[in-house]
Amino acid sequence: MDDPDSRPAIADDTVVLDSYTTVYLGYPIWWGDAQRIMSTFVEGHDFEGKTVIPFCTSGGSPIGRSGDNLAAQAGSGNWLRGERLDAGISEDEIQSWIDKLN
């Protein structure tokens, strides 16, 4: 995390986004930023024509600029404002958050 240029390899990245128009991108937050492997992921995929909704999980840290940072690294896609979801969030609360996005 101390090296913003670090790009850990993804062992088996078989994700194909071609058939999706909306992508929910979730990750744990570390000191206000996504882990560097998320940078590897977004730089390795084309988000053109997709709406990307970043969200993080955390016990207390805010999402910070992580969504903006990932959007800049991806270089494509319509990135919405990210959200931090608490560990104890209920399914109803998640659904309510999703419903507000539509």
Strands 83-86 and 78-79 turn out to be: unpaired
pLDDT over 80 at 102, yes or no: no
Is 1's pLDDT higher than 80?
Answer: no
Output the six-digit token pair for 53: 């909704």
Q: pLDDT tens digits for 39-79?
A: 999 999 999 999 999 999 887 788 989 999 999 999 999 99
5-46 pLDDT, tens per residue?
889 999 988 889 999 999 999 999 887 789 999 999 999 999
The pTM of the full predicted model, rounded to 2 decimals, is: 0.89
Q: Does domain 22-101 have CATH number 3.90.79.10?
A: no
Domain ranges, ordered by start, for the chain? 22-101
C-beta separation of 49 from 57 below 8 A: no
Bridge-based pairing of strands 22-30 and 83-86 is unpaired
